[in-house]
A and B are shown apart, each in its own frame.
Chain A
Amino acid sequence: MTGDAMSYGKGPQAIYEAYLAQGRFMIQRSERTGEYVFFPRIPAPSGAMDLEWVASRGTGTVYAITVNRSRAGSKNVALIDLDEGVRMMSTLPDVETAPIGSRVIARIEPWAEGHRVVFDLAEKGAG
């Protein structure tokens, strides 16, 4: 695949979501600089435009976490630092919360009309 954004025929958001529908967690990387990018977009923060799609290793660390408390229940919202060096918002659906610094592993689950990436603790029983 080339890094020419137009060659994909649709925008990075649509491509990301289409990959998720195929069960693939793909993120962008600059071919030249090796810099990873998330969320998917046209230019990298550095300005690099030669972004290609690569599979994320799917491993990361909890950078920050909060728990939304409401009558409908408690759901955590976390910021995950992927091992590739980019950060994303996500959730750990199987635990109420987890310590910052916890190691986590990604999985894809159906969500609304599409799919989303969520995370599980790498060591079962922790948190």
Chain B
Amino acid sequence: MSDLRGKSAIVGLGMAGVGEAPGWSAMELLGLAAVEAVSDAGLRMADIDGVFAATSSHAFPTMSVVEYLGLQPRFFDGTNVGGSSFEMHLLQATMALDAGLCDAALVCYGSNQRTAGGRLVSMSEPQWHETPYAPRHPITAYGLAASRHMAEFGTTRAQLAEVALAARAWANLNPDAFARGPLTLDEVMSARMISDPLTKADCCLVTDGAAAVVLTRADRAKDHASAPVYFLGAGAANSHRSIAQMPDLTTTAAAESGPRAHAMARVNREDLDLVMLYDAFTINTILFLEDLGFCPKGEGGRFVEGGRIAPGGALNVNTNGGGLSCVHPGMYGLFLIAEAVTQIRGAAGERQLKRCDLALCHGNGGTLSSQCTAILGSGATL
């Protein structure tokens, strides 16, 4: 296998409409983020010759993006593996750049689903063998996973609540986070039950928001306006489509994607400064901490106790406030990357980590179906 470590770098970042953006369409927000990312990279839009996109509302996202931005790309990929699409796009963009199929890759996403109706928008089709039982995905699937984790390992609702409290504490340090303000254990524990054992407080936000990043080959990256954030490795794994086909509801395919990403990046878990985990629901954070090896299987609930993943804790997790308290516009995966880039650049303001050279972004798609892990680093990690 050819070595992709350090072969590309993120040289531009843009975000738009994070939170609430009434009066803006999904594509308009995406356009704002893309323009900002290209400008941040010191490029012209016409320089973009690779397009990577997936959205919740476009059947042919790369076609729509190409038309809207007036691009003439040589290479494009619209792989849609839900919220994990963008970690996959980092890998695909790096392959395309390394192969010379494009020179400047745009990875982008946009959604206005909060102001367009306030409900999670999805193009996900029902599964015929599930339809008679009226699951309300995604929460039904994640409720099932949480029920099994509790039964098998004794995980408690208070431990799930710790995840929500940590996310809010980080969000309170992030002026761009949508859900800010005090949050108590009692408030989380007494929130309305939606799909046992998950309450409203265990669920991610439904917000608007767009994000975009620009990647170039590493040998060109130093010429750009912003300090490059290097692609060090990525790995993917897909275990199922429908939750009933997931082999073990307490172990996700992150247990495979994580080691693949680490093998490519040749970095140790202990050296990570930042861990960005796709927290669509509180149980996700616990599952991914376990599956990515931060604690043994079944110990995730105990691991997050006592503010261990909150500001000042032993492990820096979801420093933007996560999907739970910062932003979750349907597919959140690109916002994991945006926060990692912001932290590695040292531009995270009050929530800035003292040292952030190495960050892991873990995307999740479907109903714990697709798991894609990407590892990013500063120039010091090359």
Contacts and interface: CB of A to CB of B under 8 A. Distances in A.
Interface stretch (B104-112, B129-137, B335-343): B129-137
B158 interface: no
A95 B249 CA distance: 23
Interface size class of A (residues with CB under 8 A): 20 to 34
Interface in B147-189: 147-148, 151
A67 interface: yes
B245 interface: yes
Interface residues of B, number: 28
Nearest to A45: B245
A97 B150 CA distance: 15
A68 interface: yes
B190 to A, nearest CB: 14
Nearest to B150: A100
Contacts of B140: 66, 68, 77
Interface residues of chain A: helix, strand, loop or mixed (majority): strand
A98 B287 CA distance: 24
B326 interface: no
Given A64-B249, A100-B147, A87 B196 contact: no
A100 B148 contact: yes
Interface string A63-86: 111111100000101110000000
Contacts of B196: 65-67, 69, 97
Contact of B244 (A88, A97, A99): A88
A25 B198 CA distance: 32
A112 interface: yes
A67 B195 contact: yes
Contacts of A75: 134
Contacts, number: 79
Given A39-B129, A100-B147, A89 B244 contact: yes
Contact of B133 (A13, A63, A69, A77): A77
A90 interface: yes
Contacts of B198: 66
A91 B147 contact: no
Nearest to B145: A64
Interface in A25-70: 38-40, 63-69
A90 B147 contact: no
Contacts of A40: 129
B144 A64 contact: yes
A13 B132 CA distance: 14
A97 to B, nearest CB: 7
Interface string A87-127: 11111000001011100000000011010100000000000
Contacts of A39: 128-129, 242, 244-245
B195 A79 contact: no
Which A-B residue pairs are the 6 nearest by beta carbons?
A66-B143, A116-B132, A39-B129, A100-B151, A64-B144, A64-B148
9 contacts: A63-B148, A65-B196, A66-B147, A67-B143, A77-B133, A89-B130, A89-B243, A114-B132, A116-B133
Given A68-B134, A69-B196, 8 more contacts: A13-B128, A65-B196, A66-B140, A66-B144, A69-B192, A77-B144, A99-B151, A111-B132
